[in-house]
Structure 1
């Protein structure tokens, strides 16, 4: 699975892989006509185009394209070309985690696609010339006219960040406009954003096709059991690196605490804590809403907060049966007699940020000893700017 927001760089990698192995099949869907109900599917190998067809869709969106054509095409090509590897080059606005979910849960001829093919790796290609601009962009996909559906309100920076974070392999293509230091700074930033991935750098002007093939193919890097980035911390996986000393200006700071945040104090500093941040993510809990796991995700100047469901300590015993084993294990390993599994876990990655000031600010938002002593019933009565934002349902 080959993703990337800048198609020129992504397609350059795909062409390089084809040059090294003519039997490789590259599948790409052109979604520019999607909102009109038509997409173009192109399949090629190292010698030329194998298929070039327009496909009519009942609904114009990326998810219906996956269901109705992309996954069936992969299944058909796998059956018709035994022994041949496939490369699916995703559209620039498609997030690889959505593709992984579709592969696992959508049935093709009565079976999940993962029963028919094995995904070797999710590779994301980053254009060194444009990456920082993309991560700093405040544009929405809709404003750029490249949204994946009529109700697609995602920001460009969010898409780029998620493409980076889900990948098991990251390929930095080309050079920064700021020279070698700029390219090195981007490489460090990517390491901090996705420390779990394997990282490579390639000068786009001179590429060894055989070497690139060895780096990207037959690696068995993809682990389907690994959760998405917002659930990583809850399931005991690393959410980020604590590297408070700047490397090429890049700082990564991890904030962890057991005490809850005071809702008003946290609300008051939201803009400040992300002022020097390229990306922040994680989960938290508010004293006023002690049952809810709150997701935190910042990119491109915009902070999104949402519900990740219940803390396990707030669930009845039979409710634990609906939680994955990894989540239960992670909770048991760090269970606190008073807080249960509730905790703060946030990661901030930025350029020239001050991790000490950041930690001081967030610590000041935690409940004081006196506030803790008041107890949970009093916490629930706090004035809460986030009231009603994180519904939990009846679970």
Structure 2
């Protein structure tokens, strides 16, 4: 077992907090995730595991199991008013955690999420939903969000073009997410990653997967575990009571806008993995960008970020690629497009990040894209994207002319009918439709 030095336990973490600690485990491969859960239970007899089986969710039924190292404490089937993951989190997961914390405040909690649930959904529910009129954080301390990835299946999952509906594991009737989208979001939200087992291709390929995970989530600590030989005490030290969770950290699409790291620029190949960050002030020409969409993502495992188009200069355009599919959508208005008196409705962190990088002409508008791939050429990628920016002559034409450019993206990124003053510019937008999980 090994661990990276990233995201260590918080040095100033208080020891006076008597609330039970909650560790949230997610992962698309339940056998690996449950193996980590069992290991943590074996190391601490007082630890309580809560998990839900969503196999019958469509029928409005959820199977809840609560156990510790000694055995099963609860095994119940619950009927929900609405068969969706969000309802499960609100109506059973949070109340169960609150009930256990009240009944046995000396016992820490471990929540294992079903494979199709994204940890960010849990964080949102914990932040905004009340239990008996009070936040869940009055009763428990959310310590860490841990995502477990199975080394044997990770690359297949990242490259998959299947969606959850086709696989028969959709979280709701309107769940149109792709398998690869779920995997990357579980990885990117985590503050701790566990690479479980070995690649089918051997030790070198396992090391390549470790580098890939570090490039995808450079903010997360990483632990590598040999699935055949696990030291329970050591794994516990790496995963519990780390104080790594930062509830103020924005979602992945808003990270860069609020001044957080969006990705690491590591253009030199490490085990074949390359991570390239593209930043520019000039806007993209809509047609030229549209023409290279397939080309720039052809060899990518993941790309993400946001951009601005000359033809739609008011809109922050979100960019997410995984599993062979690119999703683009609106993240709201650039600050430069908002009346200044309405900036107070924008997150302080975003206003600060914009002020530090403000341009007299462009304002806060800029390109910020991260590309992560295997055996890719970052120089060629940069050359291709730079060729999509407006030329000097096009810049000289001015914004009114830019808006008249032929635009293949016209109508794709609506800002709504509201005036800019009424737009919430720091809310994540799901560019693939409603995300029930």
Normalising by structure 2, we get a TM-score of: 0.90
- Partners in 1 of 2:365 and 2:137 — Cα distance? 35
Q: Quick one: which of 222, 228, 233 aligns to 2:245?
A: 222
How big is the shift at 1:39?
0.5
- Partners in 2 of 1:392 and 1:102 — Cα distance? 26
Q: Quick one: which of 46, 50, 55 aligns to 2:78?
A: 55
- Partners in 1 of 2:120 and 2:286 — Cα distance? 31
- Structure 2 partner of 1:141: 164
- Structure 2 partner of 1:386: 409
- Partners in 2 of 1:371 and 1:211 — Cα distance? 59
Q: Quick one: which of 311, 326, 348 aligns to 1:325?
A: 348
- Partners in 2 of 1:340 and 1:236 — Cα distance? 15
- Structure 1 partner of 2:292: 269
1:207 matched to 2:233? The reply is no
How big is the shift at 1:114?
2.1
How big is the shift at 1:116?
2.2
- Structure 2 partner of 1:284: 307
- Structure 2 partner of 1:363: 386
Three-state SS of the structure 2 residue aligned to 1:261 is coil
- Structure 2 partner of 1:2: 25
Mapping for residues 222-371 of structure 1, pairs under 5 Å: 222-371=245-394
Three-state SS of the structure 2 residue aligned to 1:121 is strand
Three-state SS of the structure 2 residue aligned to 1:122 is strand
- Partners in 2 of 1:356 and 1:313 — Cα distance? 31
- Partners in 2 of 1:188 and 1:66 — Cα distance? 33
Three-state SS of the structure 2 residue aligned to 1:237 is coil
How big is the shift at 1:389?
1.0
Mapping for residues 46-85 of structure 1, pairs under 5 Å: 46-85=69-108
Structure 2 unaligned blocks of 5 or more: 1-23, 424-437
- Partners in 1 of 2:138 and 2:368 — Cα distance? 35
- Structure 2 partner of 1:172: 195
| Over 3 Å off, 4+ runs | none
- Partners in 1 of 2:62 and 2:175 — Cα distance? 18
1:13 matched to 2:13? The reply is no
How big is the shift at 1:183?
0.2
Normalising by structure 1, we get a TM-score of: 0.99
Three-state SS of the structure 1 residue aligned to 2:110 is strand
- Partners in 2 of 1:195 and 1:154 — Cα distance? 24
- Structure 2 partner of 1:92: 115
How big is the shift at 1:322?
1.2
- Structure 1 vs Structure 2 CA RMSD: 0.6
How big is the shift at 1:177?
0.2
- Partners in 2 of 1:384 and 1:235 — Cα distance? 28
Higher relative CO (CA 8 A, sep ≥ 6), structure 1 or 2? Answer: 2
- Structure 1 partner of 2:219: 196
C-alpha deviations, 1:103-129, integer Å up to 9, x for none?
000111111222221100000000000
Structure 1 unaligned blocks of 5 or more: none
- Structure 1 partner of 2:57: 34
- Partners in 2 of 1:106 and 1:321 — Cα distance? 25
Three-state SS of the structure 2 residue aligned to 1:255 is strand
